[in-house]
Structures are given as structure tokens and as C-alpha cells.
Amino acid sequence: MKAIFYPVLACLLLSCSSAVPVAKSRNQPALSEYPLHYYTQQLADNLFAQLPKQQGIFYVAPQIAVASFLPVNTLSLSDADAGEKQLANQLSESMLAHARQRGLKVYDYHLRAQVLLGGDHEQALSRQLSDIESVSDADTLLVGTYSAMEDGYLVNARLISIADKQVLAAASGYVPHNVLWSQQRVGKRGDKLYRQDLTGVQK
């Protein structure tokens, strides 16, 4: 009797345990269903819709240069970690693409004065001022800020006239914390963000 009872009991326990779904930790945010491009497209739609319609021979479209987005409290990435800098730069890269896709004139000031030929690659972009052509025809800056919220970032973007600092358009949007770090858990303590890898090690 015992020989039959224990295997049956073990089988019941295994089948029951496999049927019960594993609950997700409340501290672990759900992964974003969409890439960063999805959220910046909504932001770009709201931003560029405020520009005058391109009509008439006297209309002059803005000529845009795009800067990295910055944390709203410090307006500096000096103390930001690598992940936050990646977010800031990807926001600007994505907005640059959206601007050009809408037919606007966009200038990239990362372009080197001369292409650097490496042993196994060619490099046309740089962040070194000595390598970059300083002259630009851009008359409008696309700038942005972001604020860390409980489970994401509040992102603000605006178009500013370089000549008189007039804000030509402004828009706000939202980006989940883990839109760029799908393999990591993201949490917040006070005003600091913490990312953990799958082993639970804090970054």
C-alpha cells in the first residue's frame, strides 16, 4: 500500500506545482511591449504638429540640430551612469530620425571634418570638438529633459530658436524604465535608480 501511495502522492504534487503560475514580484515592473521608437514617435507627433504648415513661398522651415536629453534637475550628464547616458543619447538620436522623416532639415554636428580610416573600420562621427566642423546652418535646437518617475521617465522636448531663444514648440511624453534594459529589473529608492541583472546584483 505504501509503495503505491508515495508515487501517487509525488505525481499529484508535481502536477499541482506545474499548474500553478509563478507570481511576479511586485517590485519588478512589467517589460515594455514596445521599443523606444514607439514612445518617441508619439512625442515627435505632438511636437512637430505645432510647427506652421509648409505652405507659401515665404515659409521658411526650421533647420534643426538635436542635442542629448538631460536630467531636468541638474541639466548635466556628468554624474549620470552609463545606462542613463544611453537613454539620454538614444532619445536624441530617435528624435533626430523622426524630424528628418517628417521632411525637416536636420544637421548632425557629430560629423567629422574628415573621415577617419581605421585598420578595420571607417569613422565619420566624433564627440571631439577638434575633429568636428564648427560651422552649422542650423537655426533651431531640439532639446529635451527627463525626470525619473516611479516606473518610468517623464520626457519633455522643445524646439528653440537659436537667434532669440523663443520656444517654437513643446511636448511631453512617457518612457518606461526598462524600455532599453529588457533583461534587467529596474527599481527606485528615493531619487536614485537601481538596475539589477538576472542574478539580483545591483548596478
Architecture of domain 33-196: 3-Layer(aba) Sandwich (3.40)
Q: What is the pTM of this model?
A: 0.68
When pLDDT is averaged across residues 91-95 and rounded to a whole number, the result is 94
pLDDT higher for 122 or 56?
Answer: 122
pLDDT higher for 31 or 74?
Answer: 74
CA 186, 191, 182: angle at the middle one, nearest 5? Answer: 15
- Give the model confidence (pLDDT) of 17-45 as tens digits: 444 333 344 454 455 678 888 999 999 99
According to the model, what pLDDT value does residue 20 have? 38
pLDDT higher for 180 or 133?
Answer: 180
Does 189 have pLDDT greater than 60? no
Q: Are 147 and 1 in contact (CB under 8 A)?
A: no
When pLDDT is averaged across residues 4-10 and rounded to a whole number, the result is 49
Averaged pLDDT score across all residues of the chain:
75
- Give the model confidence (pLDDT) of 126-179 as tens digits: 666 555 566 678 899 999 999 988 888 999 999 999 899 999 999 999 998 878
Q: Are 96 and 66 in contact (CB under 8 A)?
A: yes
3-state helix, strand, coil in the chain (%, to 5): 30, 30, 40
Site of grid cell 540640430 = 65
